[in-house]
Structure 1
């Protein structure tokens, strides 16, 4: 039987406490819990902090809130701060607009393997189903209910997940989503985490994948496992995409491993063994 590693679940969020609450409730229902949950908050107002404070006393594992001031889209930066805060050797990364299948953490840990990182997918919920689910604050989504897309992404089938892990688009850096990925913390330290040159939506997840591959790691796919249901919202502003595409292309052409502006700058500020809540002033 596989022995599971200690895991941190990092949840990125910005000013949507209703969705984050559903996400955290779905974490509480996991068949295998992470060892800690870190909410990586890119500048939300006080409502998000109040939500976390309200849930913390009854939460089954340590619930940490890492916050930074709102200075525009700074996802790479807040993820780096959360990684620096983590006290576990395996990092599972999601966004706060997801509802997790009850075996999500279990599925990810089952595929954890040294020398690899894991990229997952998502199931899209339409607007009507999303609004209904948010109103009811029900953290379970049935795979056959109406309002869901991506049919093959809805099911957790362990033997099929193991079969697909090293066969599905393992060299395709575009076949991944930052809302559902997992890494060994040591590997993130090796490449200096996320590249904070990205200041707009898009491609920061592909770029870190490129650098991990350049460092000699292999990408594994989590298909038929690690299931997440994505709550509908309007698409993000893609105005920064051309510039971000250029950063990604440069990392590929230069075979970059270590980014100059990344995770290591926060390591001295984080105290994971004692931390309950942290605001970074860097």
Structure 2
């Protein structure tokens, strides 16, 4: 595996118990990130307590990038986090996604210029949540209790080699499990901050990746996260966000006019 400086970015909002499990799963990693940034969309001080505790437990820097809570503004806080990142390569998860022990290694082994990666998401069922948090469970496999769509939990590196780069966007893409070159992110001016509220912020970004010629590679059987169940967020701006994405597709837009550049240098 060729070394590349990397930053793990974890997006969170007001769920410190889940964030604790995600940070505990960092400790299990076969390859540790060079740096961790928590992209915090306005959490209360309970989240900061968790982060400050882990700052003393990790060997790598752990930064907390916070913005005032003005509703769902994931695009804004992720732009700020990437702007602060020192790594050449960004690995990105959500703060409710526990990482498989080989998660970071899996992403870094497939780093390739002009390519972004995305992995699988296994859902942890609601009935398992009490056990999950009581035991602080961070390790799962295909036979673990409390998960569904078990085949996604299979970690079989050999089979992942059959999945190749593709020019088109995949409906399997999820922003809670992706990685990309920081320079490619800056080349399209990052997330579009006109997208607020739940929906389309991640897919609209990678559609602009495709519009500048990047390819996508799915890390099937590798790069696995275990998503902790929660109630769905409000979709009151979904139609507005979807129109922005459709414009990106139809006009082959590559640059977010309201993007990351305002936070850079």
Bigger drift between 12-21 and 111-120 goes to: 111-120
Q: CA deviation at 1:61?
A: 1.4
Match in the other structure for 2:261 = 264
DSSP 3-state at the match of 2:14: coil
Match in the other structure for 1:232 = 229
Bigger drift between 67-76 and 170-179 goes to: 170-179
Match in the other structure for 1:194 = 191
Match in the other structure for 1:154 = 153
Match in the other structure for 1:164 = 163
- Contact 2:142-2:151 at 8 Å conserved across structures: no
TM-score where L is the length of structure 2: 0.97
Match in the other structure for 1:82 = 81
Q: CA deviation at 1:163?
A: 1.8
- Contact 1:28-1:60 at 8 Å conserved across structures: no
TM-score where L is the length of structure 1: 0.91
Query: Could you tell me how far apart the structure 2 residues matched to 1:108 and 1:134 are?
Result: 27
Query: Could you tell me how far apart the structure 2 residues matched to 1:173 and 1:154 are?
Result: 19
Query: Could you tell me how far apart the structure 1 residues matched to 2:44 and 2:222 are?
Result: 34
Match in the other structure for 2:7 = 8
Query: After superposition, what is the alpha-carbon deviation per residue over 1:33-66, rounded to whole angstroms, capped at 9, x for unaligned?
Result: 0101100000000011111111111113111100
- Contact 1:42-1:70 at 8 Å conserved across structures: yes
Q: CA deviation at 1:235?
A: 1.1
Matched, 1:181 2:178: yes
Matched, 1:243 2:250: no
Match in the other structure for 1:98 = 97
- Contact 2:120-2:222 at 8 Å conserved across structures: no
Matched, 1:252 2:249: yes
DSSP 3-state at the match of 2:162: helix
- Contact 2:119-2:220 at 8 Å conserved across structures: yes
- Contact 1:173-1:206 at 8 Å conserved across structures: no
Query: Could you tell me how far apart the structure 1 residues matched to 2:151 and 2:164 are?
Result: 15
- Contact 1:89-1:184 at 8 Å conserved across structures: yes
Query: Could you tell me how far apart the structure 2 residues matched to 1:69 and 1:165 are?
Result: 41
DSSP 3-state at the match of 1:220: strand
- Contact 1:173-1:209 at 8 Å conserved across structures: no
- Contact 1:165-1:222 at 8 Å conserved across structures: no
Q: CA deviation at 1:246?
A: 0.4
Listed as ranges, the gaps of 5+ residues in structure 2 are: none
Match in the other structure for 1:24 = 23
Q: CA deviation at 1:4?
A: 2.5
- Contact 2:37-2:81 at 8 Å conserved across structures: yes
Match in the other structure for 1:128 = 127
DSSP 3-state at the match of 1:122: strand
Query: Could you tell me how far apart the structure 2 residues matched to 1:174 and 1:205 are?
Result: 12
**1:52-67 residue pairs with structure 2 within 5 A?**
52-67=51-66
State the number of aligned residues: 265
Moved over 6 A (4+): none
What value does the CA root-mean-square deviation take over the aligned residues? 1.2
Q: CA deviation at 1:29?
A: 1.1
Q: CA deviation at 1:199?
A: 0.8
Match in the other structure for 2:106 = 107
- Contact 1:12-1:40 at 8 Å conserved across structures: yes
Query: Could you tell me how far apart the structure 2 residues matched to 1:150 and 1:60 are?
Result: 35
